[in-house]
Amino acid sequence: MRLVTWNVNSLKARWERVEEWLVTCEPDVVCLQETKLADTAFPAMDFSALGYESAHHGEGRWNGVAILSRVGLDDVVSGFGDGEPADPEARLITATCGGVRVMSAYVPNGRALDNDHYRYKLAWLERLLAHLDAAADRSMPIAVCGDFNIAPTDQDVADPQSLVGATHGSGPERDALAKLLDWGLTDVFRDAYPNDEGLFSWWDYRSGNFHKGIGMRIDLILGSPGLADRVRWALIDRNARRGTRPSDHAPVVVELVDP
């Protein structure tokens, strides 16, 4: 099974790129973030024509997450399954695909360390932990995929100095991510390339950062033991960041062996 996470930064603006990439890469399960669509505008029929069932959780203008699957798509949960009041933003969707409990997450950016949105980011990550207990069965392989807006370590940043006093690499964010790993998840891409630097999934559109190699690895696939043990290979498709009107994120791809 081939599993992907990709922040497409507007599915409407990216449709042709996404369609072309799906046909070429042939993934089985795809987690999308930042569709920036309402559920009524989500192109489920177009994905169906490409062979994918889909589930989308969107609000319109911003955010929006989806899961595509050609190996089944069941038991969908939109948002958090913790019984608390609904998240005001559409940032999480969960489904079972091909025997794997899959989550597509778009973790809040945080904006700045003194911003309310940063506190929302930390609270959101705490809630994701509770959601794991509520919506995932530990006896099943689990894949928490998405744009975490956190570079796990300085190894995942071109210029760690640029993150001092900023979001994406602060202690509390990295601690929150560590709690997810402590729950029993593995960063399966880093597991495949433990010593490599310069492996990024996002590059700022500004200043030609992609071509300068200045980016961060913030798009992650966190797998439970039953998933992480099945990883045959992993890659980040930087070619998807080149050419006409690309997303600022590249897709992260993981190939799993059959159980």
- The CA distance from 226 to 143, in Å, is 10
* 46, two tokens: 């177009």
Q: How far is the CB of 101 from DNA (least distance, A)?
A: 26
Nearer to DNA among residue 106 and residue 189 (C-beta): 106
Nearer to DNA among residue 101 and residue 121 (C-beta): 121
- The CA distance from 167 to 177, in Å, is 13
What would the x/- binding string for DNA be over residues 150 to 189, using CB under 7 A? Answer: ----------------------------------------
Q: Which stretch binds DNA (CB under 7 A): 21-29, 67-75, 200-208, 223-231?
A: 200-208
Tell whether residue 13 is a contact of DNA (CB under 7 A): yes
- Among 208, 139, 130, 212, smallest CA distance to 176 is for 130
- The CA distance from 33 to 15, in Å, is 13
Find the radius of gyration of the CA atoms of the chain. 17
Q: How far is the CB of 60 from DNA (least distance, A)?
A: 6
* 89, two tokens: 């933003």
Intra-chain end-to-end CA distance of the chain, in Å: 10
Q: How far is the CB of 18 from DNA (least distance, A)?
A: 12
Q: How far is the CB of 11 from DNA (least distance, A)?
A: 7
Let me know if 118 is a catalytic residue.
Answer: no
Out of 2, 10, 235, 255, point to the residue binding DNA (CB under 7 A).
10
**Residue 44: burial class (beta carbons within 10 Å; 0-12, 13-18, 19+):** middle
Let me know if 120 is a catalytic residue.
Answer: no
Between CA 161 and CA 247, with CA 208 as vertex, the angle to 5 degrees is 100
- 145 neighbors 221 (Cβ within 8 angstroms): yes
26: Cα within 13 Å, side-chain hemisphere: 2
Q: Which residues between 206 and 225 bind DNA (CB under 7 A)?
A: 206-207
Nearer to DNA among residue 99 and residue 160 (C-beta): 160
Q: Which of 106, 156, 187, 219 is catalytic?
A: 106
Nearer to DNA among residue 89 and residue 229 (C-beta): 89
Out of 205, 225, 242, 259, point to the residue binding DNA (CB under 7 A).
205
- 74 neighbors 135 (Cβ within 8 angstroms): no
The residues annotated as belonging to the active site are: 106, 147
Q: What are the residues binding DNA (CB under 7 A)?
A: 9-10, 12-14, 36, 60-62, 108-109, 111, 117, 149, 205-207, 245
